[in-house]
């Protein structure tokens, strides 16, 4: 499976859980609890990803990124955001070059 197919399969699995709930499914639990619970988990996984990266632990960072992508996918399904919309936005961005934003530098010695 290529990267796109993996994301499509994950998205389809989450949609399937939404449409055909299974007892004991963590995905069903999140979808049932609603957007506030899902967003809390997205925030937690984001923080855990940052901490793992800060600790320079690549294997833990990969694990946390996977958790974050999963929870973002649950959020997308709950909000009705098609995976194709996100992939199209990424495709659009990959075509851009030379769009580095200029940052305002403050001289703290003045």
- Running DSSP on this structure, what letter comes out for residue 97? -
Give tens-digit pLDDT for 4-27. 999 999 999 999 999 999 999 999
Give the H/E segment covering residue 73.
helix 58-79
- Burial of 11 per CB tally in 10 Å (0-12, 13-18, 19+): buried
* Beta strand segments in 1-110, E: none
pLDDT for position 38: 98
Backbone angles phi, psi at 56, to 5 degrees: 55, 40
* pLDDT at residue 104 is higher than 70: no
What is the average per-residue pLDDT within 82-110?
Answer: 79
pTM (2 d.p.) = 0.86
Give tens-digit pLDDT for 44-92. 999 999 999 999 999 999 999 999 999 999 999 999 999 999 999 999 9
CA distance 14 to 31: 9
What is the average per-residue pLDDT within 38-43?
Answer: 98
């Amino acid at each position: 499976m290529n990267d796109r197919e993996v994301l499509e399969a994950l998205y389809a699995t989450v949609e399937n859980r939404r449409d055909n709930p299974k007892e004991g499914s963590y995905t069903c639990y999140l979808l049932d609890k609603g957007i506030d619970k899902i967003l809390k988990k997205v925030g937690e996984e984001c923080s855990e990803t940052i901490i793992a990266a800060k600790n320079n632990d690549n294997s833990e960072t990969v694990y946390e990124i996977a958790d974050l992508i999963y929870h973002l996918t649950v959020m997308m399904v709950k909000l009705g955001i098609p995976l194709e919309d996100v992939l199209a936005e990424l495709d659009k961005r990959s075509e851009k070059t030379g769009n580095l934003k200029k940052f305002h530098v403050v001289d703290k010695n003045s």
